[in-house]
Amino acid sequence: MADVLIVDDEPSVCWAVSSLAEAKGHHAEIAASAEEALQKLNTFQPAAIVLDVRLPGKSGLEAIEAIRSASQNVPIILITAFGDLETAVAAVRSGAFEYIVKPFDAATITGALERALTPRETTIATSPNESILPPDGMVGKSLSIQTVFKKIAQAAAADACVLIEGESGSGKELAARAIHQHSARSAGPFVAVNLASLSPSLVESELFGHTRGAFTDAHDAKPGYLQLANGGTLFLDEVADIPAAAQVKLLRALEHGEVTPVGGGQPVPTRFRVISATHRHLLSQVEEGDFRHDLYFRLSAFRLQLPPLRERVDDIPELAKFFLSQLGAAGQSAAITTAALTELKRRPWYGNVREFRNALEHAQIVSMGDAIRVEHLPAAAPPLNTTGHVDLAELVRSWAQQQLATGESIDDLHARLLALVEPPLLRAALENHQGQFVAAAKTLGMHRTTVKKKADEYGISSD
């Protein structure tokens, strides 16, 4: 049994958390403000504290140092209904044991309490630094993006390599810049390199630099990106595209903290942090032998998965407000109708936040200063796979989800899909074989009479 102090001005939250604690055999005391909590701590010494960020009077973040001191440095679990990147960074820097966003479920808070009450050797706290505004585009209040904020704050507090995974346009470079901005290396350079844009024959020279005369046209020595990132952060975008030879050199540079320029035998000491990003499944690349497993495990010491925009549609109004404030005239923000926002939330956004911003910019131009309406929005872009071709399976899935949302029965849905896809498929096969039913049937893997019957059914002529 252990004593727990719950500091929150919402009686329902206090009741819920205290009930969960007592169900585990613990004793809970309640305080409605930071000031009341400090008074209680004069006579009550809990083994863990649950502290709300937003409180009347002093906020939880403002009072956390005094509460920690008065409680003899027991674990503090911060909870808040206002989860943003700035709060997450402040929570991590304050040395909070855990950071939980409302609304939370019973398992989340119970698990945090049990971990906090488990004996440990030491608890290391860091002092909060000045508040830093979140980077452009890293906005939102959905649970998924708040989880990202928390992981960014955790990554920023450490110095390990970070691997950011997510679809194209989901904000991988923004997340990398946020980690750098909030880290101890923020005063150093942030060097971003898109490996997919580099010529394979020049990747080593660009990354590691070269000496004079190392190759044709190398008239002068030139430092590489790794040397330019000395003291700061190197962001390797599309890291899956790095050639095998460069993978070996990069691993050595990370292991030994030195860079050997092309054409030079003398290594140059270099200290930098690597944040990598990819829209591919990098572990699959490792399994297929296209990416070194030892480099993968070095780069992925801390992993951050960015959710696609279609999984955080609740953030769309806030993102729209943010981008329209940027796109509007000086001191003004473009307006948007409720119907347009509803349409924006309905779309799948396969290009994610990048596509979303471009759509708003298009609509803002077309609206000519008027409020953005549905007709001002560009057509929704189709899903693309990594080869740039239309992803038919994703299109069908998206279409089916939209139809099922209307209450369509499964049988009717299947019949409707066949009525949509069979006619163009039959036409394409017949056109390819100059109207010959036998050849078209062979291509389609169907019997000739079946093809003929379906063509007649859909009114398709062999001409």
Cα–Cα distance list, 118 to 48, 76, 396 (Å): 10, 13, 49
213: left (phi over 0), alpha (psi -120 to 50) or beta: left
Cα–Cα distance list, 62 to 31, 134, 330 (Å): 16, 19, 35
Helix, strand or coil for residue 91? helix
Question: Among 319, 327, 329, 231, which Cα is nearest to 273's?
Answer: 231
* The amino acid at 199: S
Chain position carrying tokens 């890291």: 239
Establish how many alpha carbons lie within 13 A of residue 206's alpha carbon, considering only the half-sphere containing its beta carbon.
17
What is the DSSP pairing of strand 258-259 with strand 268-269? antiparallel
**Is the CATH number of domain 309-376 1.10.8.60?**
yes
* The amino acid at 266: Q
On the question of a common fold for 155-305 and 408-458, the answer reads: no
pLDDT tens-digit profile, the chain (463 residues): 789 999 999 999 999 999 999 998 899 999 999 999 999 999 999 999 999 988 898 888 888 999 988 988 889 998 887 666 777 777 777 778 888 887 788 888 888 888 888 764 333 232 333 333 344 557 888 888 888 998 999 999 999 999 999 998 999 999 999 999 999 999 999 999 998 888 777 788 888 876 765 565 665 777 888 889 999 999 999 999 998 888 988 998 888 888 888 777 678 888 999 999 998 888 888 988 889 999 999 999 999 999 999 889 999 998 998 888 887 654 455 788 888 899 999 998 988 999 999 999 998 888 877 788 888 888 887 766 544 455 676 667 766 766 666 554 556 777 777 777 888 888 888 888 888 888 888 888 888 888 888 888 777 776 6
Cα separation, 38 vs 227, in Å, equals 50
Helix (H) or strand (E) holding 287: helix 282-287
Domains of the chain, residue spans: 3-117, 155-305, 309-376, 408-458
3.40.50.2300, 3.30.750.80, 3.40.50.620, 2.60.120.620: which CATH number matches 3-117?
3.40.50.2300
* DSSP for residue 383: P
Which residues, 6+ apart, have CB-to-CB distance to 20 below 8 Å?
106, 109, 110, 113
**Is the CATH number of domain 155-305 3.40.50.300?**
yes
CATH dotted code for 408-458? 1.10.10.60
Identify whether the C-beta of residue 426 lies closer than 8 Å to the C-beta of residue 440: yes
Cα separation, 142 vs 313, in Å, equals 8
Exposure string of 228-255, with b = 16+ CB inside 10 Å and e = fewer, is bbbebbbbbbbbbbbeeebbebbbbbbe
